[in-house]
Amino acid sequence: MRSFFKIFFATLLAFVVILILGVILLMGAIGSAISPEVVTLSPNSVLVLETSQQYAEQKVSNPLNALIRQEPKEVPGVYDLVRLLKHAETDDNIKGIYLKAEGNGNGFATSEEIRNALLQFKQSGKFVYAYGEVMDQKSYYMASLADRVYVHPKGGVEFGGFFTQLTFLKGALDKLEIQPQIFYDGRFKSATEPLRETEMTVANRIQTNAYLGELYANFLKNIGIARKIDTATLHRYANEGLIQEAGDAVKYKLVDGLKYNDQVMDEIKARLGLKGDEEVNFVSLSKYTSATDLTENKGADNKIAIIYAEGSIVGGESEKEATISSGHFVKIIREARQDKDVKAIVFRVNSPGGSALASESIWRELVLAKKSKPVVVSMGDYAASGGYYISCMADSIFAQPNTLTGSIGVFAVLPNLQGFFKNKLGVTFDGVKTAQYADLGNTSRPLTEMEKKFIQNSVDSIYSTFKGRVVEGRKLSGPVVDSIAQGRVWSGIQAKELGLVDRIGGINDAIRCAVKLAKVSSYRLREYPETDASISRMVRSFGASASVENAMKAELGDQYKLYQQIREMKEMSGEVQAKLPYLMEIR
């Protein structure tokens, strides 16, 4: 027995020691990962920009990515990337940019912002090379501006025009005996179409055709300028299916040649004057971010606040990424409003909308801010419905040509699950109430006609308020706003023509406008929300929710978007929404 306990406690002690050592090693690895990386650039460096990298509005810093997921420690935000490319123009160590053009996870407006910054870099006299094995249309759009564009001999360039497809759930809901009870205002407000139709309505087809046509025209125009090919010819290439193989892309001058990756590397070496075994010093964007201090005028008293509002608009105090929660953002706007050193606010909006009530709360705080300092809006890929609601009061609004905006309309959905529960699951419900409408919103039964009237009246009232906010903010007449509202989406160019935005431009243009309105010469930027790079936040990003989400994305692939659509419909149930009909997937 004594021998048993000796062995037991010795084993236990060994286990504890190993556990402690493991924890120490893990903490050491984490400490190493989160400690600032000292990056020095050598002469003749080439900056690498991968078009497949998706850029959020704000910088994403999570050193654990490099430790666990083998992803970059830091991914700059859109405006950070614009500033990095501007800095690279005068950085003697950076001689050029290598674009790895394979896939593009960014929206068209974000791509436009980055592409314009690359064009400015190119105008500085430094080179831009682009290479990809297979370039889809969005990655080719980015690559087309390069001095030299190469594609793999057995790869190719996809160039066949734009296409978008919607998924309709009505047939499935009918089979499940789920009855969506739908209320909406706006002839073009098609957010609920997937629940009530089996194909696109005439109105939705009109607006989708118009928006897609605007995107396509801008796409052809900019490629045409870069490649010196007129847009009619480019459209003929797409319409007649002339770009089928890699050689076709060379024949029709979309690319400059067919090369393997090593051949492109050799050409870049020659461009840099390197010989023999000398290697090109390629610098990743993540490392360049770490090596570059973008802070300007640190000692300036005057501040220009940039508030990044990205994601769906929701109520509450959530600080979740890619979410604009009214409680959290009201506090942020109020802080900027009450800071006397903040002379102007640039409100960067990249949102398809969401809760109408939350949108109203954010709108109100921005109106209060506007009373004491200029407020300028810069629109990203989307600033539609609720995203436009929180933008329309600004002193000036900037959008990209391919920003999707407008969608001034509202809706509400309340499912009736009685048939599903009773006939599919054998579940029934019963209860008592003390007043006739005490169970209004109960999904286990259909709404009465009076209850439907209550909800429609609420939707009508919110729609009227929404249009009133646009009338007030944009200085347009009621009839004009009514005609361009109706839930219809517009491109940035269309919105400018209609008076919904003031100018076509990016976030830099919006900042310059804010500085001019504030009448300041020296200033520094103050960015909100503050980024949280704490260990607790990093660990949270590897939690169960994130793991499940990432696993589903990997497993479902393209079908993940259908899951997202169903989930969003579920989240929209019951509350009046000012939200885009759908996040249009274009290829």
Q: What is the pLDDT of residues 403-462, one digit of tens each?
A: 999 999 999 999 999 999 999 999 999 999 999 999 999 999 999 999 999 999 999 999
Spatial separation of the C-alpha atoms in residues 458 and 411, rounded to whole Å: 10
Q: Span 127-144, mean pLDDT?
A: 98
Mean predicted confidence (pLDDT) in 159-185 = 95
What backbone torsions phi and psi does residue 195 show, to the nearest 5 degrees? -95, -20
| pLDDT average, residue stretch 295-321 | 91
Asked whether the beta carbons of 373 and 344 are under 8 A apart, the reply is yes
pLDDT tens-digit profile of 8-55?
Answer: 445 655 565 566 655 555 555 445 444 555 566 888 999 999 999 999
Query: For residue 164, what is the DSSP state?
Result: B
Q: What is the pLDDT of residues 322-374, one digit of tens each?
A: 899 999 999 999 999 999 999 999 999 999 999 999 999 999 999 999 999 99
Write out pLDDT tens, residues 85-109.
999 999 999 999 999 999 998 999 9
| Side-chain-side CA neighbours of residue 435 (13 Å) | 4
pLDDT for residue 3 is more than 60 = no
Active site (annotated) includes residue 343: no
pLDDT of residue 531: 76
Pick the range with the lowest mean pLDDT from 27-41, 176-190, 336-350, 470-484: 27-41
| CA–CA distance, 545 with 567 (Å, rounded to integer) | 14
Q: How far apart are CA 205 and CA 200, in angstroms?
A: 6
Residue-averaged pLDDT of the chain: 88
What percentage of the chain carries pLDDT values higher than 70? 83
Q: Do domains 45-159+243-291 and 303-579 have the same CATH topology?
A: yes
Predicted pLDDT at 41: 83
Q: Which residues pair with 135 in a beta bridge?
A: 157
Mean pLDDT is lowest, of 146-150, 207-211, 514-518, for 207-211
Of 52-66, 245-259, 266-280, 563-577, minimum mean pLDDT range:
563-577
Q: Is 248 helix (H, G, I), strand (E, B) or coil?
A: helix
Active-site position among 59, 122, 189, 287: 189
Name the class of domain 303-579.
alpha beta
Active site (annotated) includes residue 189: yes
Please, what is the angle between helix 108-123 and helix 78-89, to 10°? 10
- What is the Cα Rg of the chain in Å? 27
Any idea where the domains of the chain sit in the sequence?
A: 45-159+243-291, 303-579
CATH for 45-159+243-291 is: 3.90.226.10
Confidence of residue 214 (pLDDT cuts 50, 70, 90): very high
Residue 540 has pLDDT above 50, yes or no: no
Q: Which one is catalytic: 385, 391, 407, 491?
A: 385
pLDDT band at 559 (very low <50, low <70, confident <90, very high): low
Residue of 203, 176, 202 lying closest to 189 (CA atoms): 203
